[in-house]
Amino acid sequence: MRTQTSVVRRRLWTSIHNWVYWIDGPRLDEIGRTNFELAVVDYSSDASERGEFTRQQIDFLRHARCERRVLAYLSIGEAERHRYYWQPGWRPGNPDWIIAEDREWPGDHVIKYWEPAWRRIVFAYLDRILAQDFDGVYLDWIVTYTEPHAVGRERDMVNLVLEIARYARAHSRLGDDFGIVVQNAEELGARHPDYLECVTGIAREEAYVRATNRPTSPEERQRIEGYLDRFRERSRGQLVLTVDYADKRTLINDAYARARLKGYVPYVTDVRLNRLRINPGYEPICTVSYTRADIQRQHGYRSGPASARHSSHWG
The predicted-structure confidence for 252-280, as pLDDT tens digits, reads as follows 999 999 999 999 999 999 999 999 999 99
Beta strand 69-75 with 136-140 is parallel
Question: With 60 as the cut, is the pLDDT of residue 293 above it?
Answer: no
CB 315 within 8 A of CB 10: yes
CATH of residue 52:
3.20.20.70
Q: Region 191-209: what's the mean pLDDT?
A: 99
Residues contacting 55, CB < 8 A, separation 6+: 131, 132, 133
* pLDDT reported for residue 2: 52
Residue 95 preceded by cis peptide, ω within 30: yes
Q: Which domain holds residue 132?
A: 16-284
Higher pLDDT pick, 29 / 315:
29
Number of Cβ within 10 Å of residue 153's Cβ equals: 18
pLDDT given for residue 255 in this prediction: 99
Dump pLDDT digits (tens) for 241-254. 999 999 999 999 99
Encode pLDDT of 74-129 as tens digits: 999 999 999 999 999 999 999 999 999 999 999 999 999 999 999 999 999 999 99
Cα angle 256-259-265, degrees, rounded to a multiple of 5: 90
pLDDT of residue 301: 37
The stretch 178-206 carries a mean pLDDT of 99
* Measured distance between the N- and C-terminal CA atoms of the chain, rounded to whole angstroms: 22
Fill in the DSSP letter of residue 106.
T
**pTM higher than the cut 0.95:** no
pLDDT digits (tens, 9 = 90+) for 156-167: 999 999 999 999
Give the lowest-confidence range in 24-28, 87-91, 209-213, 293-297.
Answer: 293-297
Quote the percentage of the chain above a pLDDT of 90: 88
3-state secondary structure 286-306: CCCCECHHHHHHHHCCCCCCC
Neighbours of 57 (CB within 10 A): 16
Is the residue at 49 inside a domain?
yes
How much is the pLDDT for 9?
73
- Residue 260's CB is within 10 A of a number of other CB atoms, namely 14
Please indicate whether residue 3 or residue 151 has the higher confidence score (pLDDT). Answer: 151
How high does pLDDT run on average in the chain? 92
Q: 47 to each of 31, 182, 272, 273, how far by Cα in Å?
A: 17, 20, 14, 13
Give the helix/strand (H/E) hosting 259: helix 249-261
Domain assignment present for 206: yes
| Residue 47 is assigned to a structural domain of this protein | yes
Q: What is the mean pLDDT of residues 214-219?
A: 99
Report the alpha-carbon distance of residue 207 to residue 198 in Å, rounded.
23
Q: Phi first, then psi: give them for residue 297, nearest 5 degrees.
A: -65, -40
In this prediction, residue 141 has a pLDDT band, given cuts at 50, 70 and 90, of very high
289 pLDDT above the threshold of 60: no
pLDDT-derived band at 306, boundaries 50, 70, 90: very low
Question: How do beta strands 209-210 and 214-215 pair?
Answer: antiparallel
pLDDT for residue 7 is more than 60: no
Tell me whether residue 290 is in a domain. no
Q: How many domains does the chain have?
A: 1
In a domain, 221, yes or no: yes
> How would residue 315 be classed by pLDDT, with cut points 50, 70 and 90?
very low
Would you say residue 201 lies in a domain?
yes
What pLDDT is recorded for position 311?
32
**Does residue 1 sit within a domain?**
no
Q: Residue 308 has what pLDDT?
A: 29
